[in-house]
Structure 1
């Protein structure tokens, strides 16, 4: 009873006593970080990230202590490497940046090869889409690095990647160092001086490729994923450990060794150039490409991808440790250019009976050839593949074009593997997409990818889990590029020392990364973009005012 009485009396006393407001001094806003580090992991889908996030203990684990957006979107339909990388540091969707695909067709090009590679300059004599001069001319918008340089020309921008299109599309038109792997060695624009870290890494990679690679040790977590799957009667994958013969540069590229080297190059250039150690904020960009090469050649599941995820986690940790040693106040953003879809043979084994390869007799070329034959023409009247952009022969009359388009729509639409066909007129007439990207219609997704003069006369969407590789072979068993969320959804992670960690489950877009980083350094976005600034911290020091 005494206890009950004392509690009742105490509660009554508290109710009768007015609360006294405690004045909390406002925290001073944090100064801008001196170095922004932006990392793209090619083909790191949100699904793949979710599968392994509980196992990370290195660089990914650090990023998971910051701002986590597990449902980021490459919201457009053309979920390929070049468009995806172009969104990350421009804040612009392909419909604004002009980067609608890895390759598109220009039937009016003044060369025999009408295919245009996204990161080439086709005006250079003797070039082709497979033998090209790397260039930024097709990127129609500036990047974060260019915004930063416009405000402070002393800003240094460094972009290194496993692919030229990744380095170019994230670095933009004004870079201090731009390096990529060209299949044989590290390369840059002609006439550029080679800094010591690049020379050292070139020698290191050459020595590494010259030596055979022993099978990697299999962590217990990966053992459950180690199971050989028959892709063809003579090809089984899924239980590999990245053993490599001496001199096999192609196998090196599709292995954890590749990302380790590219990330180490980024760390070396940051150290040699003393990035973040001057009065201005600098920008270091790294494109890790091995996950994509592994995904294409070995699929997104199996022991191979498991080993890659663990190795990438360690390599990211090494990069961050190197930056820590410099004492620089740096902030990190990590995302991906697109997701990925596993090979159908393993998907069917994992309770996805509708997973299939595209009909080998089905393509724009085959349909166009049949239509042309009925018109008495020798050349196909359609140019394109099994999905995506399809172009109609420009030499046709208006009436002929209309007839070809109508028949093409009917033929594509009748195929059981096709979800939908959209005309250029439909796409152009559609309003710009709004709202959460997961709610966008297929037309909205096509709209976000459409750029007049580069996109097709028709855009074809395959049904879910239809892999547009009719016949698998070494190096190419699985892919991406669809309208579907397994290709659109990617993680977006932000980290800075002292940052309050949080997780935001609602969807955001990769076009939000550039304005968010601009807000973090107090930079006003100087151009019209598609993205928005994301709040990374609540209260004083919030990135978005």
Structure 2
């Protein structure tokens, strides 16, 4: 009897162990099965000078397969902002891909006064490298002034350099800064009398065969054609009248009105460069990006590749014609079609569900101030030359201010610190004296010293944005802010650079592999993009990243 009981207990124990083992094994298998699979390709798109309201304002003119597909089948962050100033192209592209602000990545503007060399430097300029694809100096560019890594750099490191990175834009800085330091290549468009995509010896010694083939295919020449509205101009009710006094236009044409004969106008407008200031600049970038997917075999192996695309024509058109022009409306209608082309190419060449795409902008833009004035909204223009003359003639501690000032640029004043020291003056006191002088100047709204930017932590407001854009080594001694809708620019066309919503509020759309469908009005910031992509890929954040992953976006 006892033997039977022991046998029964032993049998029950074996069954229990077997069941537990099966449960454990099933749990293990389930865990393995749900391990995240990385996308084969990440595509980062930056639309230069795209305000958020372009998505909604021109929505009725968009087909369903471009911007709308990204918004409906992807995730739309509707309250996305830059969290620093200045809102320029160089800092914008750097911030999107590094996940931080100029305070950390060091790209404080497109061009800035360098305190060490006592000269201006360009954010992507590099005389130590040579042009590839042209004899022109337009190829002497690299990311050497970018102080931190991009998420593309981190992906290259994570994959032991097996994952590729390719950067593409009309603008050199729009191709170079997003691609980061370790990119396989960055390509940008060189116009004038050449009309070709070029690079630099920072990346490669000669252009790959596929790039040479593209340049030799006369694609650029094919875009020297008539630019007229895609649809009947009378249906463009989301923009102002075609003939007005708020637009620049092209040399050789009396009015900034449709249509534009680009081939004829190119003679007086820097040859192939005229393409940049039309929607066709975006189209040729799309052509080249699709060629790059094939030429570089992007997304064709088990290592994630990164393709960065910057559409710059929107910026050129905005600067020339303004944000309320028929030209800007037509440019976005046509860009919608180019976005559709990119998505269709990705679906065909990489495979639907095998790639992740995000789309954002490097800054927005202000309505043309002269137009705002015409409808009784406060706005205006700031005369920098008059400001400089008045400031330099002022007295500071019984000295002419001119003696202390080395440079005024990017709404910053750079002082001669060595001279101030030799005079036995306190630097912070001189900075504050200048603040006290200029705060009463017309159209200057606020002014701050570098000492306050370094010694005080600002948690909110414009002071926080200024601090995030302030790089202690590269920025000036006094920072000033202009009144809302006041710019230092021509009286035609739009520009950007401020901490106001028209410059900071830009789109942020995620789409594809690993992305939820949905939207949010929760405030997000540009530095959040790179950590979100890093989290999706399971890689380290860029080394200077200050943003946070957007959990609500990731599936």
State the TM bucket, normalised to the shorter chain: 0.7 to 0.9
Superposition pairs of residues 106-121 of structure 1, within 5 angstroms: 106-109=114-117, 114-121=119-126
Displacement, 1:49? 2.8
> What's 1:436 paired with?
none
Unaligned stretches of 5+ in structure 1?
1-24, 434-439
Residue 456 of structure 1 aligns to a residue in which SS?
coil
Q: 1:36 aligns with which of 28, 39, 42?
A: 42
> What's 1:140 paired with?
147
Displacement, 1:455? 0.5
> What's 1:88 paired with?
96
Q: 1:101 aligns with which of 96, 100, 109?
A: 109
Q: Distance in 1 between matches of 2:177 and 2:452?
A: 28
Q: Judge which range, 510-519 or 234-243, deviates more.
A: 234-243
Aligned partners of 1:372 and 1:381 also within 8 Å: no
Q: 2:70 aligns with which of 63, 66, 86?
A: 63
Q: Which ranges of 4 or more aligned residues in structure 1 deviate by more than 6 Å?
A: 122-125, 232-238, 376-380
Q: Distance in 1 between matches of 2:394 and 2:199?
A: 44
Q: 1:74 aligns with which of 67, 70, 82?
A: 82
Superposition pairs of residues 513-528 of structure 1, within 5 angstroms: 513-525=529-541, 527-528=543-544
Matched, 1:461 2:481: yes
Change (3 A) 1:215 1:512: same
Q: Judge which range, 308-317 or 483-492, deviates more.
A: 483-492
Change (3 A) 1:137 1:232: closer
Matched, 1:413 2:420: no
Q: Deviations for 1:432-451, whole angstroms, at most 9, x for unmatched residues? A: 64xxxxxx312101110011
Aligned alpha-carbon RMSD (Å) = 3.0
Q: Judge which range, 488-497 or 397-406, deviates more.
A: 397-406
Aligned partners of 2:381 and 2:486 also within 8 Å: yes
Change (3 A) 1:275 1:360: closer
> What's 1:229 paired with?
244
Matched, 1:390 2:390: no
Residue 421 of structure 1 aligns to a residue in which SS?
strand
Displacement, 1:454? 0.5
Q: Distance in 1 between matches of 2:285 and 2:357?
A: 17
Residue 199 of structure 1 aligns to a residue in which SS?
helix
Residue 419 of structure 2 aligns to a residue in which SS?
coil
Q: Deviations for 1:360-391, whole angstroms, at most 9, x for unmatched residues? A: 65334652255599846986724114x52211
Q: Deviations for 1:398-418, whole angstroms, at most 9, x for unmatched residues? A: 345566534422332001301
Q: Highest Rg: 1 or 2? A: 2
Displacement, 1:338? 0.7
Q: Deviations for 1:334-358, whole angstroms, at most 9, x for unmatched residues? A: 0001111121122234x35212111
Matched, 1:167 2:175: yes
Displacement, 1:286? 0.4
> What's 1:282 paired with?
305
Q: 2:272 aligns with which of 249, 262, 265?
A: 249
Q: Distance in 2 between matches of 1:237 and 1:460?
A: 36
> What's 1:216 paired with?
229
* TM-score after normalising by structure 2: 0.82
Q: 2:371 aligns with which of 332, 340, 346?
A: 346
Q: Deviations for 1:55-92, whole angstroms, at most 9, x for unmatched residues? A: 32232111112100022111101100011100111111
More helix by share: 2
Matched, 1:503 2:503: no
Aligned partners of 2:84 and 2:499 also within 8 Å: yes
Aligned partners of 1:197 and 1:265 also within 8 Å: no
